[in-house]
Structure 1
Amino acid sequence: MDPLLDSRGRGILVPGQPQAIEVLPDTEAVSIHTALSPVAWTLRGTRNRAFILVTGQGELDMGATLLPLTGPCALWLPAGRPARLKLKSGSRGAALTVPELALGRAVPSGPVGRQVRDALFHPIIGTRLTPALALDIAQSIEAVGQELRSGQPGAQEAARHHLVLVLMALWRISSPQPLKVQAAPRTIVRNFLHLMELHLRDHWTVADYARFLSVSRARLTSAVKRATGRTPLELLHERLVIEAETLLAESHLQVTEIADALGFKDPGYFNRFFKRETGRPPGRVRKAEGRMPIHRPNFAEWP
C-alpha cells in the first residue's frame, strides 16, 4: 500500500470503518506534513489519487515526463495512471485515495454528476489554486478521513458528503464546460470503453456500467451500437474471449487458472462461455497446432 502521512509525518492507513454496507470501501484520506524530511509515493494506478499541496514543492514522475509542483496546487490522477510523487521537506497539504467503486457511490447523479465523472476520467496536474481554495479542499479531505476513523453513527455517509465537496471542487478546477442536459453519445461510448478495460474481470453487468455513467441501459446500448456496430454485452464478451485466447496461446496457465484470472468463479461456466462464443472448448484451442496470430483490438484507443 502506498504510504500516507498523519499530521506528524508518520505513515498511517485510514480504512473505512467496517459496516454491513460500506459507502466508501477502501477510501483513505489524510493530512500531509513532511516536517524535516522529504517523502515519496509510488502510485501504481490501481485507484484514483488526489493531492492538494497547500504549501511546499515537489515533482511528479510519469515515466517519460517529470513535472515540477509548487503549492498551492491540485493533483488528480485517475485509476490507470501510474506515477511517482516526491514532496520536499516542509510541504503541507492533504492526500486522498478513492477506488472506482467508492467514486461511483460518491459522485452525484444527474447532469452535473455526469460532468463530474467525465472530468475525473482525466488527470489534473499541478493546477494552481488560491491559498484559500487549497486550504478549503485540504480541510474537506481531512474531514473525510476524520469521519472514516471516528466510528460514529452515520460516519460513512458523512464522509461521503465531504468527499462530494472534494470531487466537485476538482471538477470546477478542471474548467468544466457549460452544463448540458445529456452527455454526448461519443462521450458515453468513450467512457464505457475506458470502464470496460478497468472492470472486465469484475464482470459488471451492462446495467452496472449504465448506472456508473448515469445513463439508462437503453441509451448506453444505443450509443455503443451506433458507434461500434455491437451491443455493450457483445463487446464485453468479445474482450473476455480475446483475453482468454491470449492466455491460452501465450501462457502455461491451466484452464482453471485462466478462468480464475478472468474473474470466472466457476471453471465449468468459463468452459461453456468460451465454447458458446468461439465454437470450441478452451482445451481444444490450446492443443490446436499452428496457432494463428491473435487479433487484439484496443477498445481503449477508440477515438
Structure 2
Amino acid sequence: MSRSGVDIPRYALLGEDPTGSREELVHCETIAARSVRYDWNIPAHRHPALCQLLLVFEGQAAITLGSHGENPCVPFILIVPSGTVHAFRFEPGVSGFVLTLSNRLVQSLGQDALLRNLLGEPHIASISAMMADRLRAMGEQVLLASGHEPPRELLRRSLAEALLRIAAEECGQPARQHGDRLVTRFQALVEAHCRRERRLAFYAQGLCCTERTLTRRVGEALGVSPMDYLHQRLAVEATRLLRFTNASCADVADELSFEDPSYFSRWYRRMTGRRPSTISGRQRAGRGSS
C-alpha cells in the first residue's frame, strides 16, 4: 500500500460520506452485502469515526492493515480501529460479517479492560471452530436486529456487546503470543474438551507428553498450571452461559458436567468472586416472581 496517508479515502461506511449523518451506534452486514459491489476487492480506505470487526468463517481473504499484508487462515477475527488504513481482497462468496461500531460506543465500552484490549489495536486473530460457531450465531442475531427503531437499536447494541465479549474471551488468551506449539495444542484440547474432561492425564496423553512436561511448558508460557488454565477457561464458559442464555445455575452445572449444582456454585464463586445467581437473568427473574 504505497499511497500517502493524505490520499487514502475516508468514509463512514465504505462509499458513504464521512461527514454524513449516520447515527447508528452499531451496524452489521454480511461481507458480501458491500463487497460484491466492488467485485470483492475493497480498496485502501479508513474510517475516522468508526471501528470495525470482521468475522470471516469460510473462503479466502487477503488483508492489508496499514503497511502490513496477511492471508490468514479461516476462521479469523479482524479488528480495525478508527483511522486505521485497511484494504481487503475476498474470494467471491466468502462467508462472514462486518460489525461496525461508532467511536462513541467504543469509548463507552472502553471502560471495560477486556473490551478495551480487544478494540484498541489493529490485529488479526485465528479462532477455534467452536468459537466461530458461537460468533456466527451471535452475528446472525445482530443482523436480524437491524432497523432504526429505538428498541431495535438497544437490542442491537446489547447483542453486539455480547458478541464482543465472546470474541474477547478468544482473542484475549495470552498464549497466542507464546510460540510454544505444545501449549497451543493444549489450548485446542481445552477448547474441545473442557466441558467434560478435567483430568491432567487426559491432556498429557492427548499431547503424547508426561504430566510433568505439560505442567512445566504451560507454566513457562502462561504463568499458570494446566489445571488452573482449564478452570479459568471453564469459568469463562460458565459466565457466558449464565449471562447470555436462559440457562439456570442448575442447567449450567449440568451442561459443564458438574454432578452437584451446589458444588458448581461454590466452585464458580471461588473462581470469580461472585455467586452464579448474581449474573443469571433466569435466576433473578425467578426470585423476583416468588
> Structure 2-normalised TM-score?
0.46
- Indicate the structure with greater helix content: 2
**RCO higher in structure (CA 8 A, sep ≥6):** 1
> Structure 1-normalised TM-score?
0.44
